[in-house]
């Protein structure tokens, strides 16, 4: 029996997670796997119910599970709370830290049916298939923060901290992934300005002789943002620190047509966590407008990465491709001549496709 913790969270989380769970159940039935799902509270929803965005019970549920499926957390309702009780800082970051999830894998793949939905010219994105490895438990998001009153206002401080072992483990993972793909790795930093980036670059470079089949290059993050828009297909595997990865993957998402298409896997600890890269999208929450495909594709990543079920993962991905091929689109990837459907219907279509 495989135990899966399900954390829908806030905003569109409650709409996009159920279709992904249904897809997992369908694949389970089809291939004779016994998945057990237990739902837990996280984010603003958990704060409202228990007074904390990451209740101990949720953390224990994750630790006792084989994998975690997360929707998204956050929203304007909880923005007024003290920082440590806000869904992102109080739940998401500590959950990643507590589970030891130091690497976030974000595949950026353009489905052929959606090449025209990208804001870039079709020829620039068509066939794009890259992997961004984002460091997830260090850097600016986890360094010491301060807000001190001074004459005329405040002095506000965020600290960017990395240790050699933190860089080492994520860089090695990226080298290994690059070895399994085309053998091309780009490490992204800001070594011309930041001390942490200079050490990042030196250390990543020092590992290169151990991976002779990988062609390593380095790029400054500002240039990288430009290159992703100018010629995205020059990249295969990219590795970068936490905040750079956060920003660059939102940019890269748009190459695929929509942020609603990008899944992710956070790995490194005993239990891996799977979630779409987008947030809780409060602007469209509760309106049956959200694209559930990023979450459904995150479920496929779970099957592949945690459960080593390649055939089952491919079954979900093929179902998504088939539904797109039939012309169904949620609003975010809608194009002229296609059939627009809501979140629920898109989920049903994928399910029908899996069940044949």
> Out of 246, 274, 328, 332, which one is annotated catalytic?
246
* Per-residue interface string for the shown chain with ligand NAD, residues 133-172, x marking contact by CB under 6 A: ----------------------------------------
Residue 238 near residue 208, CB atoms below 8 Å: no
Pick 185 or 324: Cβ nearer ligand NAD? 324
Considering only residues 31 to 90 of the shown chain, the ones binding ligand NAD according to CB under 6 A are 72-75, 88
- Token pair belonging to 70: 């997360």
Whether residue 283 lies in the annotated active site: no
One of 8, 18, 279, 347 touching ligand NAD (CB under 6 A): 279
Strand-pair partners of 39: 6
CB atoms within 10 A of CB 309: 20
284 binds ligand NAD (CB under 6 A): yes
Considering only residues 248 to 277 of the shown chain, the ones binding ligand NAD according to CB under 6 A are 259-260, 275
If phi > 0 it is left, if psi is from -120 to 50 it is alpha, else beta; for residue 156 that is: beta
Considering only residues 6 to 35 of the shown chain, the ones binding ligand NAD according to CB under 6 A are 12, 16
Number of H helices, E strands in the chain: 13, 14
Whether residue 236 lies in the annotated active site: no
Considering only residues 321 to 350 of the shown chain, the ones binding ligand NAD according to CB under 6 A are 332
Tell me the HSE value of 63 on the side-chain side, using a 13 A CA sphere. 11
Q: Which stretch binds ligand NAD (CB under 6 A): 149-157, 194-202, 206-214, 288-296?
A: 288-296
Chain centroid to CA 160: 21
Q: What are phi and psi of 237, to 5 degrees?
A: -105, 135
Whether residue 246 lies in the annotated active site: yes
290 binds ligand NAD (CB under 6 A): yes
Strand-pair partners of 215: 184
| Residues 236, 43: Cα–Cα separation, whole Å | 34
**Residues noted as catalytic:** 141, 190, 222, 246, 250
Q: Using CB under 6 A, list all residues that contact ligand NAD.
A: 12, 16, 72-75, 88, 92, 259-260, 275, 278-284, 290-291, 294, 332
């Amino acid at each position: 029996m495989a135990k899966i913790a399900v954390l829908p969270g806030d905003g569109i989380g409650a709409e996009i997670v159920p279709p992904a769970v249904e897809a997992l159940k369908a694949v389970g039935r089809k291939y004779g796997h016994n998945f057990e799902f237990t739902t837990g509270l996280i984010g603003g929803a958990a704060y409202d119910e228990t007074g904390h965005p990451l209740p101990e019970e949720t953390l224990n549920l994750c630790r006792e599970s084989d994998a975690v499926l997360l929707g998204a957390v956050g929203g304007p309702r909880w923005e007024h709370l003290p920082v440590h009780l806000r869904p992102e800082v109080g739940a998401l970051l500590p959950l990643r830290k507590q589970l030891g999830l130091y690497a976030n894998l974000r595949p950026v793949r353009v489905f052929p049916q959606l090449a025209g939905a990208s804001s870039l010219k079709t020829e620039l994105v068509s066939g794009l298939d890259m992997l961004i490895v984002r460091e997830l438990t260090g850097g600016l998001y986890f360094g010491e923060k301060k807000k001190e009153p001074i004459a005329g206002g405040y002095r506000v401080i965020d600290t960017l901290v990395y240790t050699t072992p933190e860089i080492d483990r994520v860089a090695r993972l990226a080298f290994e992934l690059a070895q399994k793909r085309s053998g091309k790795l780009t490490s992204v930093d800001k070594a011309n300005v930041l001390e942490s980036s200079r050490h990042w670059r030196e250390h990543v470079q020092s590992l290169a002789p151990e991976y002779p089949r990988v062609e390593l290059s380095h790029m400054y993050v500002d240039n990288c943002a430009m290159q992703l828009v100018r010629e995205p297909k020059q990249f295969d595997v990219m590795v970068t620190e936490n905040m750079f990865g956060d920003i660059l993957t939102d940019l890269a998402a748009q190459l695929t047509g929509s942020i609603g298409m990008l899944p992710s896997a956070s790995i490194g600890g005993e239990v891996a966590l799977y979630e779409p890269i987008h947030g809780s999208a409060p602007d469209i929450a509760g309106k049956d407008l959200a694209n559930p495909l990023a979450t459904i594709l995150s479920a496929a990543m779970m099957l592949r990465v945690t459960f080593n079920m390649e055939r089952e993962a491919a079954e979900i991905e093929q179902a998504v491709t088939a539904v797109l091929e039939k012309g169904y689109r949620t609003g975010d990837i809608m194009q002229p001549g296609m059939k627009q459907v809501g979140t629920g219907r898109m989920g049903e279509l994928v399910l029908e496709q899996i069940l044949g």
